[in-house]
């Protein structure tokens, strides 16, 4: 980042893990470099053309299934050049492990499940994981589930610590249908949707002339 006094502050995208019950922040994982592209797709949840009722053709059953794909790079070269103690000792392992453990149940939970199974328990509840929020600037803070995580390690130091890697994240936006209106995550989704609506109202309207027509027949 430039040290020039007038240079803008560079914002980073990343993930924030929060307690799904009370909403307290558990961990913040900032991307070292923002991705060049961010791919978003929407599966529309309409009633569908097979309902047989023309009144249903434009009805929406709920929010679309929105998915986000992010490819980002991480590099320990600068930290190694600065002789950062943690990077010298472990390279990129801590950051990679922080991402990987999001998609693992904790070792304590696995051990507790094993102990319950050994004692004859017939019903073992899955662990409630932290709720990830994908943050890409102040206008895009959205609850997600990580559906895909791939890590390509591309360079290593003398003790085989990774020092350069590419991350591919697949995310599914969680809506009020997934989380409920009263949950902290449901409230965050509603804020996300309302921000979209506010931005849409700011869009300047077009004209029929721009479309090459005088009006709708």
Minimum mean pLDDT range among 49-58, 80-89, 119-128, 150-159: 49-58
Structure confidence at residue 48 (pLDDT) = 65
Contact 44, 64 (CB under 8 A): yes
Helix (H, G, I), strand (E, B) or coil at 96: helix
State both tokens at 48: 């569908």
Structure confidence at residue 168 (pLDDT) = 95
Structure confidence at residue 1 (pLDDT) = 43
Structure confidence by residue, pLDDT tens digits, 160-215: 999 999 999 999 999 999 999 988 899 999 999 999 999 999 998 888 899 999 98
| Greatest mean pLDDT range, 3-12, 44-53, 80-89, 125-134 | 80-89
Q: Is 172 exposed, middle or buried (0-12, 13-18, 19+ CB in 10 A)?
A: middle
Q: Which of 103, 102, 101, 95 is nearest to 165 (CA)?
A: 95
For 160, other C-beta atoms within 10 Å of its C-beta total 10
Mean pLDDT of 76-80: 90
Structure confidence by residue, pLDDT tens digits, 1-56: 444 555 556 789 999 999 988 889 999 999 988 988 999 999 988 876 655 567 77
> Which of the two residues, 118 and 88, has the higher pLDDT score?
88
Structure confidence at residue 50 (pLDDT) = 59
Minimum mean pLDDT range among 50-64, 87-101, 105-119, 179-193: 50-64
CA distance 7 to 87: 28
Kindly tell me if the per-residue pLDDT of 156 is higher than 60: yes
Kindly tell me if the per-residue pLDDT of 73 is higher than 60: yes
For 22, other C-beta atoms within 10 Å of its C-beta total 7
């Amino acid at each position: 980042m430039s040290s020039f006094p007038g240079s803008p502050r560079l914002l980073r995208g990343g993930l924030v893990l929060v307690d799904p019950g009370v909403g307290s922040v558990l961990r913040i994982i900032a991307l070292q470099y923002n991705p060049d592209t961010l791919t978003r797709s929407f599966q529309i949840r309409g009633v569908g053309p097979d309902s047989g009722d023309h009144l249903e053709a434009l009805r929406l059953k709920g929010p679309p299934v929105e998915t986000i794909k992010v490819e980002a790079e991480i590099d320990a070269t600068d930290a190694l050049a600065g002789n950062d103690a943690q990077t010298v000792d472990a390279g990129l392992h801590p950051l990679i492990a922080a991402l990987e453990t999001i998609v693992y149940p904790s070792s304590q939970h696995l051990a507790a499940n094993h102990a319950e199974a050994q004692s004859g328990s017939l019903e073992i509840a899955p662990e409630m994981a932290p709720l990830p929020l994908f943050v890409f600037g102040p206008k895009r803070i959205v609850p997600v589930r990580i559906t895909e995580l791939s890590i390509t390690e591309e360079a290593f130091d003398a003790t085989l610590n990774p020092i350069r890697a590419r991350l591919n994240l697949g995310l599914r936006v969680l809506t009020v249908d997934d989380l409920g209106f009263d949950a902290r995550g449901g409230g965050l989704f509603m804020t996300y949707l309302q921000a979209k609506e506010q931005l849409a109202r700011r869009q300047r309207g077009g004209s029929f002339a721009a479309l090459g027509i005088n009006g709708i027949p």
